[in-house]
Amino acid sequence: MRIAVGQFAVAEDWAANLKSCQALVDEAVAGGADLLVLPEDSMALFIDEPMRIAEAAQPLDGPFLSGLLERTAGSSTTVVVGMHEPAGDGKVHNTLAALRDGALVATYRKVHLYDAFGARESDRVRPGGGEPVVFECAGWQVGLMTCYDVRFPEMARLLVDRGAELLVLPAAWVRGPAKEWHWEVMVTARALENTCYVAASGECGRRNIGASMVVDPLGIVRGRLADGPGLLWASADREELAAARRKLPVLANRRFFVDPSMR
């Protein structure tokens, strides 16, 4: 599988962000990508007034996602992109949408909300129902996670239990003391402890670190971006995945299993 991971500085204007996403889609398609991963909430970002996200939220058939669906028509490249959609009662869902050839192939609504480091995502966002979402892309099983989800290893394990061979992780990872280290450690750990690939896209700009990366099943970072806009390229290889799981059979050797029920 040929993977592209894009990062850019998300603005408040959804139309400007749509153009940025479309440009990355065009570049990924031209480069023969099977999968393009874009950041969490690529649709709009309000740094100083986060409650405004409810005003900017759009349904899945709104103009932002429709504009991206049109851009993928006629292409085999799958695009995973983050957005906010209305959830009722003035709240929104933090949603990932997977698009291919003009159609919506999967959606995931973020389960673990970022109520940490002084932030309160739950004040404006309603969590999803918790069902692991895995879909097929170029013959691979791909699991969906969003940002803060990476701090919960059981989330990744549930996806791998559902057959995921590659975990996709769009994020808007906020800067702060040791936060870049947290990001790298946990993205790498989720790959290594599950012997799977992880493709993580980070929003860059005034608030967030960027630092997109692709990690292989033995925890080796195959490529990364810094803190500016760009497109990262990497590959996932089925023989490499099988060899890693033979060499490090942690999935076969484990003694405990994750209970998928929500508390």
Residue 241 lies in a domain: yes
Residue 260 lies in a domain: no
Q: Looking at residue 16, what is its pLDDT?
A: 98
Residue 124 lies in a domain: yes
Residue 93 — pLDDT band, cuts 50, 70, 90? Answer: very high
Active-site residue, 137 included: no
> 164-218 pLDDT, tens per residue?
999 999 999 999 999 999 999 999 999 999 999 999 999 999 999 999 999 999 9
Residue 259 lies in a domain: no
Q: Which of 21, 85, 110, 137 is catalytic?
A: 110
Q: Looking at residue 88, what is its pLDDT?
A: 87
Residue 80 lies in a domain: yes
Residue 110 — pLDDT band, cuts 50, 70, 90? Answer: very high
Residue 200 lies in a domain: yes
Active-site residue, 19 included: no
State the average pLDDT over residues 249-259.
96
Residue 5 — pLDDT band, cuts 50, 70, 90? Answer: very high
Least confident of 1-15, 42-56, 136-150, 229-243: 42-56
Q: What is the CATH number of the domain that holds 110?
A: 3.60.110.10
State the average pLDDT over residues 82-92.
95
Q: Which of 147, 196, 203, 204 is catalytic?
A: 147
State the average pLDDT over residues 146-151.
98
Predicted confidence (pLDDT) at residue 262 exceeds the cutoff of 90: no
Active-site residue, 110 included: yes
> 117-131 pLDDT, tens per residue?
999 999 999 999 989
State the average pLDDT over residues 141-162.
98
- In the chain, the number of structural domains is 1
Residue 134 — pLDDT band, cuts 50, 70, 90? Answer: very high
Q: Looking at residue 15, what is its pLDDT?
A: 98
Domain membership of residue 72 as a residue range? 2-253
Residue 262 lies in a domain: no
Q: Looking at residue 201, what is its pLDDT?
A: 98
Q: Which of 40, 121, 165, 203 is catalytic?
A: 40
Predicted confidence (pLDDT) at residue 263 exceeds the cutoff of 80: no
Residue 93 lies in a domain: yes
Q: Looking at residue 187, what is its pLDDT?
A: 98
State the chain's mean pLDDT as an integer: 97
Q: Looking at residue 89, what is its pLDDT?
A: 87
DSSP string, the chain: -EEEEEE-B--S-HHHHHHHHHHHHHHHHHTT-SEEE--TT-S---SS-GGGHHHH---TTSHHHHHHHHHHTT---EEEEEEEEEEETTEEEEEEEEEETTEEEEEEE--S----TT--GGGTB--------EEEETTEEEEE--GGGGG-HHHHHHHHHTT-SEEEEEE--B--TTHHHHHHHHHHHHHHHHT-EEEEEE-BSSSBB---EEE-TTS-EEEE--SS-EEEEEE--HHHHHHHHHHS-HHHH----------
